[in-house]
Amino acid sequence: AKRLEGKTILITGASSGIGKSTALEFARTNPNGNLRLIVTARRVDSLEELAAQIRKETNDGVKVLPVKLDVSKADEIRGFVGSLPEEWRDIHVLVNNAGLVKGVAKAPEIAEDDLNIMFATNVTGLINLTQAILPIFQKRPNGGQGDIINIGSIAGREPYPGGSIYCATKAAVRSFTESLRKELIATRIRVIEVDPGQVETEFSVVRFYGDKSKADAIYAGCDPLTPDDIAEIVVFSATRRENVVLAESLVYPNHQASALIMHRRP
């Protein structure tokens, strides 16, 4: 965790699931290492709770700044860096985690609002925020330095029926991530993608518009990954030697072998 010493880390979608676990994991890995965590999402109350938890666990060893940021709103992203207190602007690690899926409709029935919010959040939001943070990285020596860690999905590698839009958004994340890594070849900026399989979070509750019983059925008879499992891999990626780029990780729970091949206990 020496490698995180003095760094500022920005995490989107930190009010729940993988983003929240990632904030906790960064803090636990470097509890008294002069670490700064900027945790962002739309639900500020949850961010405040998370910040209090981290401060308590680390005896104020980790500094945490909760900030409301809706990544689907370009104007919020535009004003974001400038709105941070000066000592929080020297960001070293960006974790683009905020994302969502809405519904399981097939193409003819997909609601326009669902289509728009998935692209605005998972794709345009991720790209806009990356564009907002990159100039900070590029001011550093050797063409620039910093880590961009994008949360993709198995869905970006393997489209499935009822997931066309979500899968397309995650395929877009994958493409953007790979182009960016190539564009930044002459810098020391690392571009990293972590692609989870099935993780039990609020993800399915959001997919089914709040219907918890439908969400629970997704995980019935399975042992899904926990958000902590993915957080460990994100932090591992960010703490490799500076010359090591863990370009992509596809992460399954043991019972899963593709988006749709899932063994369920009888």
Give the CA count within 13 Å in the CB-facing half-sphere of 178: 9
Determine, following the binding rule CB under 6 A, whether residue 98 of this chain makes contact with ligand 8X3. Answer: no
Residue 259 interaction partner, one of ligand NDP, ligand 8X3, none, beta carbon < 5-8 Å per kind: ligand 8X3
Nearest to 157 by CA among 223, 246, 71, 256: 256
Determine, following the binding rule CB under 6 A, whether residue 16 of this chain makes contact with ligand NDP. Answer: yes
Give the CA count within 13 Å in the CB-facing half-sphere of 94: 26
List 57, 70, 158, 178, residue binding ligand NDP (CB under 6 A): 70
166 is catalytic: yes
Q: How far are the Cα atoms of 99, 148, 165 from residue 81, in angstroms, in the given order?
A: 20, 16, 30
Span near ligand 8X3 by CB under 6 A; candidates 37-45, 65-73, 141-149, 152-160:
152-160
Q: 84 to 113, contacts with ligand NDP by CB under 6 A?
A: 97-100
List 29, 128, 153, 237, residue binding ligand 8X3 (CB under 6 A): 153
Minimum separation from the CB atom of position 177 to ligand 8X3 (A): 15
x/- mask, ligand NDP, residues 126-165, rule CB under 6 A, reads -------------------------x-x------------
Size of the site for ligand NDP (CB under 6 A): 30
Residue-by-residue DSSP string for 147-179: EEEEE--GGGTS--TT-HHHHHHHHHHHHHHHH
Residue 137 interaction partner, one of ligand 8X3, ligand NDP, none, beta carbon < 5-8 Å per kind: none
Answer yes or no: are the C-beta atoms of 204 and 214 closer than 8 Å.
yes
Spatial distance between the Cα atoms of 9 and 92, rounded to a whole number of angstroms: 6
Determine, following the binding rule CB under 6 A, whether residue 42 of this chain makes contact with ligand NDP. Answer: yes
Determine, following the binding rule CB under 6 A, whether residue 198 of this chain makes contact with ligand NDP. Answer: yes
Answer yes or no: are the C-beta atoms of 30 and 83 closer than 8 Å.
no
Q: Which of 7, 63, 102, 170 is catalytic?
A: 170
Q: How far are the Cα atoms of 5, 14, 122, 143, 234 from residue 238, in angstroms, in the given order?
A: 12, 17, 21, 19, 6
Could you count the other beta carbons within 10 Å of the beta carbon of residue 144?
Answer: 17
160 is catalytic: no
Determine, following the binding rule CB under 6 A, whether residue 163 of this chain makes contact with ligand 8X3. Answer: yes
Minimum separation from the CB atom of position 112 to ligand 8X3 (A): 21
Determine, following the binding rule CB under 6 A, whether residue 237 of this chain makes contact with ligand NDP. Answer: no
Amino acid at site 22: T
Answer yes or no: are the C-beta atoms of 106 and 161 closer than 8 Å.
yes
Q: Which residues bind ligand NDP (CB under 6 A)?
A: 12-19, 41-43, 69-72, 97-100, 121, 151, 153, 196, 198-199, 201-203, 206, 227
Instruction: Kindly list the catalytic residues.
Output: 166, 170
Q: Which residues bind ligand 8X3 (CB under 6 A)?
A: 153-155, 163, 166, 259
